[in-house]
Amino acid sequence: MAEQTPVAEQTPAALASRTPHVPAERLVAEMVPPPRFSTVSFDNYIPDPGQPSQATAVKELAAFATSVSDGSGAADGRRKSWFRRETRPAAPRGPRGMYLDGGYGVGKTHLLASLWHATAAPPERKAFGTFVELTNLVGALGFQQTVQTLSGHRLLCIDEFELDDPGDTVLVSTLLGKLVDAGVALAATSNTLPGKLGEGRFAAADFLREIQGLSAHFRALRIDGEDYRHRGLPEAPAPYSDETVTRAAHHTPGASLDDFPALLDHLSRVHPSRYGAMCDGIEAVCLTGVGPVPDQSTALRLVVLADRLYDREVPVLASGVPFDRLFSEEMLQGGYRKKYFRAISRLTALARDGKRLAE
């Protein structure tokens, strides 16, 4: 058997040393499905035979994509001229958007990205982003400029729609109302407080109250099922030693190496909208000293980082406690539990990917 050529030792990067600046034009240009979902489609979504709602969702969303593409369910996409007023055709009646409701790991993001890909429009005429990314776009461009920028789109997809910040909720609901009036079709996945929407249903009354009547523009699709990331897969690998993680970081091209408490502290000084840019060029994340997250604010920041790493398919190798012990029992029973379970699910999947780094 031929001997493997050893990888030269290198000095790993540190996420905790990065404080990226993200210009507004980059925020707009990057409103596309992330790398993990860059090639997904309705065809390669695999419905669970035991969950008929999954196959139904594929059928309904494919039909919606067709309606958006041919203009029957979306705007014609014309932008307003600086010199003359252009009239739009009357907006079609009935729901102008799809709302995908379900637990974590049932493939909602896969389906949302598939809708984006299936909609026949140039990339610059359709947008895809998380709720956090959308609020950050408003912060960077200003409300009126954001409305003008997105009003010419056929479709806006919002992943992980959140109702846990009243200020942001009102801001985005007002924005979406303006876009609906402009003829933009909408699609969203839910990631909401159980006490608001509820995990198993689209509570129209709560949604109506929280975002000022925008629920009338959405048709709800419930997607049942278990977390596909762990369906039939082996358990996540146990944490490694500090020495193993450090050695892997020094021998993995593009790897970062961080002390977990120091990284959590750094996250408090970087806006969550920049976490994606913070991961630019990182091929693997190595963490030493992983331990329980001390408070809810820190926990919510970690959730965003986990999402950005998962989007980018960055494997994770860690020492310390297992990822299912990151959040306290109180956190896992509280209002943000869906976020925490999603983070555990995604980090566990990335830990499986990171197993090869230790070998």
Q: Phi, psi at residue 22, to the nearest 5°?
A: -115, 105
Question: At 249, phi and psi to the nearest 5?
Answer: -60, -35
Q: Does residue 267 or residue 24 have the better pLDDT?
A: 267
Q: Alpha-carbon distance 157 to 131, whole Å?
A: 9
Say if residue 259 is in the same domain as residue 333. yes
- Between 176 and 95, residue with greater pLDDT: 176
From CA 344, how far away is CA 327, in angstroms rounded?
Answer: 9
How far, in Å, CA of 105 to CA of 103, rounded?
Answer: 7
Domain boundary among 193, 226, 259: 226
What count of residues does the chain have? 359
* Claim to verify: residue 144 and residue 216 sit in the same structural domain: yes
Q: Quick one: 293 and 346 in the same domain?
A: yes
User: Would you say residue 1 lies in a domain?
Assistant: no
Is the domain of 166 the same as that of 205? yes
Question: Does residue 329 share a domain with residue 310?
Answer: yes
Q: What would the pLDDT profile of 313-336 be if each residue is shown by its tens digit? A: 999 999 999 999 999 999 998 878
| One domain for residues 49 and 155 | yes
Any idea which of 34-38, 70-74, 220-224 has the lowest mean pLDDT? Answer: 70-74
In-domain check, residue 3: no
316 shares a domain with 208: no
Indicate if 208 and 290 belong to the same structural domain.
Answer: no
What 8-state DSSP symbol labels residue 184? -
In a domain, 9, yes or no: no
Based on the structure, what is the number of domains in the chain? 2
Give the pLDDT score at 214: 62
Range from 139-148, 222-231, 261-270, 343-352 carrying the lowest mean pLDDT: 222-231
- What is the per-residue pLDDT across 18-63, written as a single tens digit (0 to 9) for each? 999 888 888 888 899 988 899 999 999 999 899 999 999 999 999 9
Question: Which stretch, 76-90, 228-242, 304-318, has highest mean pLDDT?
Answer: 304-318
Residue 183 lies in a domain: yes
Instruction: With beta carbons less than 8 A apart as the criterion, state whether 122 and 50 touch.
Output: no
CATH number of residue 208's parent domain: 3.40.50.300
3-state helix, strand, coil split of the chain in percent (to 5) is: 45, 15, 40
Mean pLDDT of 241-264: 97
Among 176, 196, 226, identify where a domain stops. Answer: 226
Residue 252 maps to a domain: yes
Domain finish residue from 226, 247, 262: 226
Residue 111 falls inside a structural domain: yes
* pLDDT tens digits, one per residue of 78-133: 433 323 344 444 444 455 789 888 877 788 999 999 999 999 999 999 999 988 88
Give the predicted TM-score (pTM) of the model. Answer: 0.77
Let me know whether 289 and 216 are in one domain.
Answer: no
| 258 inside domain | yes
Tell me, yes or no, whether 103 and 127 share the same domain.
Answer: yes
Instruction: Answer yes or no: do 145 and 244 share one domain.
Output: no
All residues at 6 or more sequence positions from 295 whose CB lies less than 8 Å from its CB, including other chains: none
| Distance in angstroms (rounded) separating the CA atoms of residues 239 and 233 | 18
Same domain assignment for residues 185 and 77: yes
In a domain? residue 156: yes
Q: Give the residue numbers spanning the domain of 353.
A: 15-20+233-358
Q: What are phi and psi of 188, to 5 degrees?
A: -145, 150
